[in-house]
């Protein structure tokens, strides 16, 4: 465990060192949140409710979704691809600890920093817009659990995508594709309840909703207590499934690399 703690520290320091990358990423997301805020605002001046969502709920959703999206925003596909090209990856694989565990704890360190920074920013914006009236202690606790599990789901997905980098040099494309997939299907941009017919069913069977939509709905209270529990359980199931998939793919992918020197 001590070994992994060192990696948490490592990730934290890494986050500090690359803060400009993180801040610009966060600002870009924030602009998107602000734009969506105004889009919804103008929509709700014409009608009271869209698909069961009122302006009151939407005002919260936009900002909570932004918080969920900003935590753990840095993808590690690019850096892995770079290490594969340079051959440094072998040093990671030779270490006497699990490769995935190392990545996870490193991410956790960075995510801690990101969470703190985003929380301060978005917390104040949220309070300025919505005030205290919607907050509930029980839901907040469940939200934090669900947010953490959502990070787990996101990590598993990223890990699987990063394994693709063993097969292709185009890490930029891989990262981009993963980012768009998660943004689109996780509810980062609009609540998944608004998706029309078939697409809604597709979204339901995909793991992406666990990343943002589930924690958000728990926080703003569109999920009942029972629904919240079921969704949290679903997140855990997805982590197990994707984790297993990652292990299997990992075994294959690590066999592919061949490099000179070392």
Partner 1 sequence: MKKYGTYIKLYIIFQIQNIKSLAQYRTDFLMMVFFTLFSQGCNLGLICIIYSNIPQVGGWTMWEIFLLYGFLLFSEGFINFFFQGAWKITNMIHMAELDRFLVRPVPVGLQLLTAKIDFDGLNKMVIAIAVMAAGFGQCGMEWNVLKAAVLCVFMAEACVIRVCMIWTASCISFWMEGKKNSLNYFVISLGEMAKYPMVIYSPIFRGIFGYLIPYAFVSFYPVGYLLGKEGTRAGALGISFFCALMLAVSYMVLKRGLANYESSSY
Residues forming contacts to partner 1 in the complex (CB under 8 A) are 20-21, 23-24, 27-28, 31-32, 34-35, 38-39, 41-43, 46-47, 50-51, 168-170, 173, 176-177, 180-181, 183-184, 189-190, 194-196, 199
Give me the residues paired with residue 49 across strands.
Answer: 54
The nearest distance, CB 226 to partner 1, in angstroms, is: 27
Nearest partner of 142 among 75, 64, 201, 66, judged by Cα: 64
The nearest distance, CB 230 to partner 1, in angstroms, is: 25
The nearest distance, CB 154 to partner 1, in angstroms, is: 18
Contact between 37 and 131 (Cβ < 8 Å): no
Alpha carbon distances (Å) from 20 to 6, 24, 83, 158, 179 = 23, 6, 22, 22, 19
Contact between 190 and 36 (Cβ < 8 Å): yes
Q: Which is nearer to partner 1, 103 or 212 (CB)?
A: 212
Q: Which is nearer to partner 1, 104 or 126 (CB)?
A: 126
Gap between the Cα atoms of 142 and 196, Å rounded: 28
Alpha carbon distances (Å) from 9 to 36, 120, 199 = 35, 21, 41
Q: Which is nearer to partner 1, 58 or 142 (CB)?
A: 58
The nearest distance, CB 223 to partner 1, in angstroms, is: 20
The nearest distance, CB 227 to partner 1, in angstroms, is: 22
Nearest partner of 67 among 143, 164, 161, judged by Cα: 143
Q: Which is nearer to partner 1, 22 or 159 (CB)?
A: 22
Q: Which is nearer to partner 1, 32 or 98 (CB)?
A: 32
């Amino acid at each position: 465990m001590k070994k992994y703690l060192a990696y948490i520290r490592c990730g934290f320091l890494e986050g500090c060192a690359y803060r400009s990358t993180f801040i610009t990423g966060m600002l870009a997301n924030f602009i998107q949140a602000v734009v969506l805020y105004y889009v919804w605002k103008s929509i709700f001046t014409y009608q009271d409710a869209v698909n069961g969502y009122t302006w009151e709920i939407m005002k919260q959703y936009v900002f909570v979704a932004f918080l969920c999206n900003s935590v753990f925003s840095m993808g590690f596909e690019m850096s892995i691809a770079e290490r594969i090209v340079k051959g440094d990856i072998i040093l990671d694989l030779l270490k006497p600890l699990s490769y995935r565990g190392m990545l996870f704890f490193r991410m956790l360190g960075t995510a801690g920093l990101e969470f703190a920074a985003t929380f301060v920013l978005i917390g104040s914006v949220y309070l300025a817009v919505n005030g205290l009236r919607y907050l509930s202690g029980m839901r907040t606790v469940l939200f934090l659990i669900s947010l953490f599990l959502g990070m787990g789901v996101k990590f598993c997905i990223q890990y699987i995508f990063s394994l693709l980098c063993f097969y292709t040099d185009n890490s930029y494309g891989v990262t981009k594709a993963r980012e768009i997939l998660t943004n689109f299907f996780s509810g980062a941009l609009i609540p998944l309840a608004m998706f029309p017919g078939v697409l809604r069913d597709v979204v339901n069977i995909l793991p992406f909703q666990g990343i943002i939509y589930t924690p958000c709905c728990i926080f703003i209270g569109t999920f009942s207590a029972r629904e919240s529990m079921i969704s949290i359980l679903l997140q855990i199931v997805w982590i197990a499934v994707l984790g297993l998939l990652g292990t299997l793919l990992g075994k294959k992918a690590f066999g592919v690399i061949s490099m000179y020197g070392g």
